Chains A and B, each alone.
Chain A
Amino acid sequence: MIIVVLIGLLFGGGVLAWAADRFKLADPRWVSIASLAIGLIMLLAFSLYQDAVIVIDGQQWLASVQASWIPRFGISALLAMDGLSLLMVLLTLFLGIVAVLSSWNETKHSKGFFQFNLMWVLAGVVGVFTALDLFLFFVFWEVMLIPMYFIIAIWGHEKRRYAAIKFFIFTQASGLLLLLSMVVLVYFHYQAEGFISFNYFDLLGTELPSGMGLWVMLGFFVAFVVKLPGFPVHTWLPDAHTQAPTAGSVILAGVLLKTGAYGLIRFAVPLFPEESALFAPTAMLLGVIGIIYTAAMAFAQTDVKRLIAYTSVSHMGFVLLGVYAGNATAMRGAIMTMLAHGMTSAALFAFAGAIQQRIHSRDMREMGGFWSSAPRMGAIVMFFSVAALGMPGLANFVGEFLVLLGAFQADAWLTAVAALGLILAPVYSLIVIQRIFHGKPLVERPIADFSHREVVMMGMMMLVTIWLGVYPQAALDLATQNLASLMAWVEVGAESAVLPDLAMTAGGGQ
Chain B
Amino acid sequence: MSISDLLYLIPIMLVAGTSVVVMLVTAFFPYHALVNRLTLLGLVLAMASLGRIDVTEAVQITPLIIIDSFAYFFTGLLLAAGIVITLLSEGYFRQNRDEPFLAGEYYILLTVAILGGLVLVSSNHFASFFIGLELLGVSLYVLVAYLGHAHSGRQNSLEAGIKYLILSGVASALLLFGIALIYAQFGTLEFTELGVAWSRVEVLNDPFVAIGLALILAGISFKLSLVPFHMWTPDVYEGSPAPSTAFVATVSKGAIFALLLRFFVTTGVFEHAVVFYALSGVAILSMLGGNLLALLQSNIKRVLAYSSIAHIGYLMVAFLAGHSNGVSSAEVAESVSFYLVAYFISTLGALGVVIVRSQMQAERDLDQVEDYRGLFWTNPLLATVMTAMLLSLAGIPLTVGFVGKFYVFMVGVQGFQWLLLAALMLGSAIGLYYYLRIIVVIFARPDGPPLAGEEVTIEVSLRDSLVLAGLGIMLLWLGVFPQSLIEIIRSAGLG
Contacts and interface: CB of A to CB of B under 8 A. Distances in A.
Contacts of A169: 429, 432-433, 436
A165 B437 contact: yes
Interface in B407-454: 409-410, 413-414, 421, 425, 428-429, 432-433, 436-437, 439-440, 443, 445
Contacts of B397: 138-139, 142-143
A173 B429 contact: yes
A338 B377 CA distance: 38
Contacts of B428: 173, 176
Interface in B467-495: 481-483, 486-487, 490
Interface string A173-191: 1001101100110010000
A360 interface: no
A233 interface: no
Interface string A340-373: 0000000000000000000000000000000000
B224 to A, nearest CB: 24
Contact of B425 (A70, A135, A164, A177): A177
Contacts, number: 72
A135 B398 CA distance: 11
Contacts of A165: 433, 436-437, 440
Contact of A146 (B396, B409, B421): B396
Interface in A43-75: 69-73
A397 to B, nearest CB: 39
A187 B413 contact: yes
Given A70-B486, A143-B397, A179-B406, A184 B413 contact: yes
B483 A71 contact: yes
Contacts of A72: 482-483, 486-487, 490
A173 B396 contact: no
Q: Which of B413, B428, B482 has most chain A Cβ within 10 Å? A: B413
Nearest to A169: B432
B401 to A, nearest CB: 12
A161 interface: yes
A176 B429 contact: yes
Contacts of B440: 153, 161, 164-165
A183 B417 CA distance: 13
A69 B481 CA distance: 7
B425 A173 contact: yes
A302 interface: no
Contacts of A70: 481-483, 486
Nearest to A108: B445
A176 B437 CA distance: 19
B121 interface: no
B370 to A, nearest CB: 14
Interface in B384-413: 391, 396-398, 402, 406, 409-410, 413
A187 B429 contact: no
A179 B405 CA distance: 10
Contacts of A73: 406, 410
Interface in A243-273: none
B330 to A, nearest CB: 13
A168 interface: yes
A179 B409 contact: yes
Interface in A141-169: 142-143, 146, 149-150, 153-154, 161, 164-165, 168-169
A153 B443 contact: yes
A128 B433 CA distance: 25
Contacts of B377: 110
A109 interface: yes
A172 interface: yes
A139 B481 CA distance: 13
Contacts of B402: 142
B425 A176 contact: yes
Contacts of B432: 168-169, 172-173
Nearest to A187: B413
A146 B433 contact: no
A110 B398 CA distance: 24
Contact of B443 (A71, A150, A180): A150
Interface string A71-115: 111000000000000000000000000000000000001100000
A153 B438 CA distance: 12
A161 B391 CA distance: 17
Q: Which of B396, B437, B481, B482 has the most CB of A within 10 A?
A: B396
A154 B410 contact: no
A149 B442 CA distance: 14
A169 B396 CA distance: 12
Given A154-B445, A165-B437, A180 B414 contact: no
Contacts of A172: 396, 429, 432
A188 B104 CA distance: 57
Contacts of B391: 146
A110 B377 CA distance: 9
A153 B483 CA distance: 34
Given A154-B445, A168-B432, A143 B410 contact: no
Nearest to A177: B425
Contacts of B443: 150, 153-154
B396 A180 contact: no
A183 B398 contact: no
Contacts of A142: 396-397, 402
B373 to A, nearest CB: 12
Contact of A168 (B398, B436, B445, B487): B436
Nearest to A170: B429
A180 B425 contact: yes
Interface string A126-138: 0000000001001
B445 A109 contact: yes
Contacts of A177: 425
Nearest to B486: A72
Nearest to A185: B413
A146 B398 CA distance: 11
A150 B445 CA distance: 12
B325 to A, nearest CB: 13
Contacts of B396: 142, 146, 172
B480 to A, nearest CB: 9
A301 B481 CA distance: 48
Contacts of B421: 180
Nearest to B407: A73
A153 B429 CA distance: 19
A109 B377 CA distance: 11
Contacts of A143: 397-398
14 contacts: A71-B483, A72-B482, A73-B406, A109-B445, A143-B398, A153-B439, A165-B436, A165-B440, A176-B429, A177-B425, A180-B409, A180-B413, A183-B406, A187-B413
Interface of A: 69-73, 109-110, 135, 138-139, 142-143, 146, 149-150, 153-154, 161, 164-165, 168-169, 172-173, 176-177, 179-180, 183-184, 187
Interface of B: 377, 391, 396-398, 402, 406, 409-410, 413-414, 421, 425, 428-429, 432-433, 436-437, 439-440, 443, 445, 481-483, 486-487, 490
The 3 closest A-B pairs by CB, nearest first: A173-B429, A139-B397, A142-B397
Given A173-B432, A176-B428, 18 more contacts: A69-B483, A70-B486, A73-B406, A138-B397, A142-B396, A143-B397, A149-B436, A150-B443, A153-B439, A153-B443, A164-B436, A165-B433, A165-B437, A172-B396, A173-B428, A177-B425, A179-B409, A187-B413
